Amino acid sequence: MYDLPPILIEVTEHKEEQKECPHCHSIQESQFPSTVSRPVQYGPNIKTLIPYLTHYQCLSLKRTKEFFQDCFGHSISEGTLVNHTHAFSAQLRPFLEEVKEQILQSSVVHFDETGMRVENKTQWLHTASTPEVTFQHIHEKRGKEAMDVGEILPSFSGIAMHDGWKPYDVYTDCRHVLCNAHLLRDLQGIIDSTGETWAQQMKEFLTQALTIKKQYKGTIPEIEKKNLFAAYQAILKGKQVPSAEQKKKRKQTPSQNLWNRFAKYVDRILAFLESPDIPFDNNQAERDIRMTKVKQKVSGTFRSKEGAESFCHIRSFMSTMKKQNQSVLQAISQVLKTGTVPWNTTLS
């Protein structure tokens, strides 16, 4: 039978001894462990559990308090939980600078943003990620001002995968690629509302093109690419486009707006056909921000901007550790005990 022994919190008293040499009369004294810095404090094992429970398992402060009381018979205050969270976040800053450098060196980066409630106001969590690392930051704005604060897009020269949010186009040093998963959802919306043939054909085309890429293991022959581009253009030409006079008389429909996007951004939409390294969708970024929504459902709102910033720092760390096949709990413990992070700094 597998079982757990009773878990109790241990209290350890550390004493510093001083000894005088009988010959030279110099004073020698012992040193406290590096993790001991105050007369009364929590040890690294308890400090490890706090961010793990609140930011990885996404427990609220109230439920984290209950966990300590129920499991350890120990009462811990919400203020203590918050203080240790902020302290751990501060330790991660040098690591996060390394993460940003890794992202800037990457050939393809996924970008996304999502709303967060901070002090009962909507702010925006911005994410930049690859299969190896994640960086997130919070800002009151969603557009260029916030992206500049992230310090990635202004200096990035690779391929930027995103959902087509207009402010991304301000950054001209990188190549922009659109998320086809978003476009498939938009096409399905047109199919459900109007049943237009071109939307159904385009949906089938994108799905089939992805299947072909998988069949060729990412490297599609040039003749096959030409056939796919020709099929794409044929679908666009099959839709009746309103004349300039008709456009003046009536409002642009959602279907026409979507068609215009497919016509204007051919190179961004079909970029995934060019190379095995260019993805079909932006699911990487969406996965990396998913836990934000879980945390919001549990906690409702962050009480302070500092709390939201700590959340972004710690989630960036935890997401990166998972991508590096590291135990999140052990990684937190290593940071707290040694000030080092267990990760591979070489990009694949």
- Give the pLDDT confidence of 263-277 residue by residue, as tens digits: 999 999 999 999 999
- 77: tokens are 């205050």
pLDDT greater than 90 at residue 8 = no
Say if residues 109 and 347 touch (Cβ distance below 8 Å).
no
Residues 169 and 184 in one domain: no
Domain of 162, CATH number, reads: 3.30.420.10
pLDDT range class, residue 344, cuts 50, 70, 90: low
> 24-33, 224-233, 265-274: lowest mean pLDDT where?
24-33
Residue 82 lies in a domain: no
Give mean pLDDT, residues 240-248: 57
Residue 256 lies in a domain: yes
Say which residue, 22 or 224, is predicted with more confidence. Answer: 224
20 - beta bridge partners?
27
CA dihedral of 182, 184, 190, 191, whole degrees rounded to 10:
-160
Residues 106 and 167 in one domain: yes
Residues 196 and 266 in one domain: yes
pLDDT greater than 90 at residue 18 = no
Distance between CA 313 and CA 307 in Å, rounded? 10
Distance between CA 100 and CA 255 in Å, rounded? 39
- Alpha-carbon distance values, 73 to 4, 6, 66 (Å): 16, 11, 9
Residues 189 and 262 in one domain: yes
Residue 28 lies in a domain: no
> 10-24, 123-137, 186-200: lowest mean pLDDT where?
10-24
- 346 DSSP assignment: S
Residues 127 and 170 in one domain: yes
Residues 232 and 113 in one domain: no
Give mean pLDDT, residues 278-305: 90
| pLDDT of 347 | 36
pLDDT greater than 50 at residue 282 = yes
Whole-number average pLDDT of the chain: 91
Residues 287 and 302 in one domain: yes
pLDDT greater than 70 at residue 346 = no
**pTM over the 0.85 mark:** yes
Encode pLDDT of 60-100 as tens digits.
Answer: 999 999 999 999 999 999 999 999 999 999 999 999 999 99
Residue 75 lies in a domain: no
Residue 32 lies in a domain: no
pLDDT range class, residue 243, cuts 50, 70, 90: low
59: left (phi over 0), alpha (psi -120 to 50) or beta: beta
| pLDDT of 251 | 75
| pLDDT of 330 | 96
Between 78-91 and 93-104, two packed helices, what is the crossing angle to 10 degrees?
50
Q: Which domain holds residue 261?
A: 180-238+251-273
| pLDDT of 345 | 53
- Does residue 92 sit in helix, strand or coil? coil
Q: How many domains does the chain have?
A: 2
Give mean pLDDT, residues 114-127: 93
| pLDDT of 348 | 32
Residues 172 and 192 in one domain: no
Residues 263 and 210 in one domain: yes
> 99-103, 117-121, 130-134: lowest mean pLDDT where?
117-121
Nearest in space to 174 (alpha carbons), one of 161, 162, 156: 156
Residues 107 and 134 in one domain: yes
Residues 287 and 162 in one domain: yes
Residue 65 lies in a domain: no
Give mean pLDDT, residues 88-115: 96
| pLDDT of 249 | 56
Residue 305 lies in a domain: yes
- 166: tokens are 């207009």
| pLDDT of 294 | 87
Residues 135 and 214 in one domain: no
Give the type of residue at 177. Answer: V
Residue 340 lies in a domain: no
pLDDT greater than 90 at residue 335 = yes
